[in-house]
Amino acid sequence: MAAPVVSIAFNKTTFAPGEQIVLTVTHTDADRVALVVETKVTDSNGNVGTVSGTVQIDQGTATVTSVPAKSWVLQSQTAGQAVFTTTA
């Protein structure tokens, strides 16, 4: 039942009007687990087929707001990091 731990970083601190602001949101969560599930199928001849996939347990979703309001666009996202941009 842990809450996410969040940190944010900007590409710089001062922007000229029209410049791109890049915000990187990094987050962790004690409950978060990347669960790797592997399924193995064996036929009567002994042939084995394997498939695996990963699911995130307690995945975090990042959103951004600002004052004054701006339109923040999600550029990339991984399990622990989201990158947003807007225009200064």
Partner 1 sequence: MSTLTVTAKVTDKQGNSTSKTGTVTIDDVPARLLVVGASSYKPGSANRLSSAQDLDTQLAMIAGVQKPVMKFWHAYNSSLPGSFSSSAVGQCIANGWGGMLNIRDTPGRIRTPAGSAALFSFLSSVPASLPVLYLIWAHEPENDGMTTSEQAVWRADMAEFIKTVIDFGNPKIIPGSCFMGDPPLSWDLFNYVPLLRAGDQEKMIFFFDAYPKCRTGPNRTDDPGFKYDDVANWARAHGFTRLGVGESTLNNDVNLPQSHVDQWWNIKLPAWLNANPDVEVFAVYDATGPAAGTNGMIDQPGELQAVANLMRFGV
CB-nearer residue toward partner 1: 10 or 42: 10
Q: Name the site residues for partner 1 (rule: CB under 8 A).
A: 1-8, 10, 12-17, 21, 23, 25, 27, 29, 31-32, 57-68, 70, 84, 88
Residue type, 76: S
Residue type, 33: V
Give min distance, CB of 86 to partner 1, in A: 9
Check residue 30 and report its DSSP letter. Answer: T
For residue 24, give both structure tokens: 């990187």
- 8 Å CB contact between 88 and 12: no
CB-nearer residue toward partner 1: 42 or 54: 54
Give min distance, CB of 82 to partner 1, in A: 8
Check residue 9 and report its DSSP letter. Answer: E
